[in-house]
């Protein structure tokens, strides 16, 4: 039985009611700014059914310090979200300030490996639009994907194309005070493949988003990944999972933090004890995997679990 299902069976009715009550009791958007918080963030990828007010209210209620913006409801192209356009943008910034929330980063879908000129132009255009929005939202980072190796093409050629794209975006982002962060994602999940593209970008405005789930599934230990990529790491994605019997190693079932076999606690310890100062961001892939736990369960569980992990690692408010 998958761990996530077992967890549901073990939870009491009273526990579930408490979770629901906390969601309903989330503070109004205009409530006073809360005290300082632990450096935990949550991606909107995990709550695709929530509207803006629900996202902000629940994240604030459960103690998150920042939001990673990866779509709002049915709109994944953030510059097209009404909350971030026209006269509503300033109201959105006031909502975040009142709730004590920052924006950790914007998650674009742009892929830097794309060899087709027309498709590549579209990916670069998307990334530039996200950089423009990041400037308006005072967000420090825009995430892009590396993302695949090209059939029949030597690795060094793909590396060079990705690095060129990262360099171009980094230079575009520099005047806006924004940094491009490329994620360990797709077929780029090993340090040996990520280092060449980061070094080749040759831009102070290009850095690394460490999705530790992907590197761990690939077989790297957290300490080994950080030793190679720590100097580039500005943001993280953390989540837990279990293997699915009979499926490839990459095909896994996401479970509540600490109930799977991904060394999330060890990743936190490695980050905290090596001077990492960014957010520990929960990327709950509910949008892509609707069968996993609801955000009303997974989000507060992550916040509580991460508080314990961070305290043990010596990180306190």
More confident residue, 9 or 312: 312
Q: Are 74 and 82 in contact (CB under 8 A)?
A: no
53 has a pLDDT exceeding 50: yes
Q: Mean pLDDT lowest for which of 18-22, 95-99, 261-265?
A: 18-22
More confident residue, 316 or 270: 270
Q: 25-52 in b/e burial notation, b at 16+ Cβ within 10 A? A: ebbebeeeeeeebbbbbbbbbbbbebeb
110 has a pLDDT exceeding 70: yes
Q: Rounded CA gap, 297 and 20, in Å?
A: 8
- Residue 315, pLDDT score: 95
Beta partners for residue 182, in sequence order: 144, 208
Which residues lie below 8 Å from residue 229, measured CB to CB, with a gap of 6+?
A: 191, 194, 195, 198, 208, 210
Average pLDDT of 134-161? 98
Confidence of residue 40 (pLDDT cuts 50, 70, 90): very high
Which residues lie below 8 Å from residue 18, measured CB to CB, with a gap of 6+?
A: none
Q: Rounded CA gap, 45 and 37, in Å?
A: 22
Q: What percentage of the chain carries pLDDT values higher than 90?
A: 88
- Residue 34, pLDDT score: 53
- Residue 35, pLDDT score: 64
Average pLDDT of 72-96? 97
- Residue 317, pLDDT score: 84
- Residue 316, pLDDT score: 86
Beta partners for residue 217, in sequence order: none
4-13 pLDDT, tens per residue? 334 333 443 3
Q: Rounded CA gap, 65 and 41, in Å?
A: 6
CA distances, 208 to each of 56, 175, 253 (Å): 26, 19, 25
DSSP output for 252-279? EEEE-TTSSSS-HHHHHHHHHHTT--S-
Strand 141-145 vs strand 179-183: parallel, antiparallel, or unpaired? parallel
- Residue 91, pLDDT score: 97
224-233 pLDDT, tens per residue? 999 999 999 9
Bin 14: left if φ > 0, else alpha if -120 < ψ < 50, else beta: alpha
Average pLDDT, rounded, for the chain: 91
Domains of the chain as residue ranges with CATH? 3-312 (3.20.20.150)
């Amino acid at each position: 039985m998958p761990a996530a299902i077992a967890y549901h069976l073990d939870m009491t009715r009273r526990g579930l009611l408490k979770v629901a009550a906390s969601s309903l009791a989330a503070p109004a958007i205009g409530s006073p700014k809360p005290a300082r918080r632990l450096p935990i963030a949550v991606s909107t990828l995990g709550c695709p059914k929530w509207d803006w007010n629900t996202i902000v209210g629940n994240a604030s209620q459960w103690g998150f310090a920042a939001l990673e913006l990866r779509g709002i409801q049915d709109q994944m192209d953030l510059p097209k979200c009404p909350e971030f356009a026209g006269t509503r943008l300033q109201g959105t910034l006031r909502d975040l300030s009142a709730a004590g929330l920052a924006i950790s980063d914007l998650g674009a879908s742009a892929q830097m490996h794309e060899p087709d000129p027309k498709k590549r132009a579209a990916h670069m255009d998307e990334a530039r639009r996200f950089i423009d929005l990041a400037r308006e939202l005072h967000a420090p980072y825009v995430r892009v994907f590396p993302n695949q190796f090209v059939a029949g093409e030597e690795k060094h050629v793909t590396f060079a194309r990705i690095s060129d794209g990262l360099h171009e975006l980094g230079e575009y982002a520099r005047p806006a005070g924004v940094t491009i962060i490329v994620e360990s994602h797709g077929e780029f999940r090993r340090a040996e493949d990520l280092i060449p593209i980061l070094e080749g970008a040759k831009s102070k405005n290009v850095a690394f988003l460490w999705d530790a789930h992907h590197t761990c599934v690939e077989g790297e230990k957290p300490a080994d990944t950080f030793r190679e990529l720590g100097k580039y790491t500005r943001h993280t994605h953390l989540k837990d999972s279990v293997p699915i019997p009979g499926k490839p190693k990459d095909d896994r079932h996401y479970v509540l933090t600490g109930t799977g076999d991904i060394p999330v606690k060890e990743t936190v310890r490695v980050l905290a004890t090596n001077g990492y100062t960014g957010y520990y961001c929960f990327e709950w892939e509910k949008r892509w995997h609707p069968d996993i736990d609801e955000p009303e369960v997974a989000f507060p569980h992550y916040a509580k679990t991460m508080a314990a992990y961070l305290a043990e690692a010596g990180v306190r408010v």
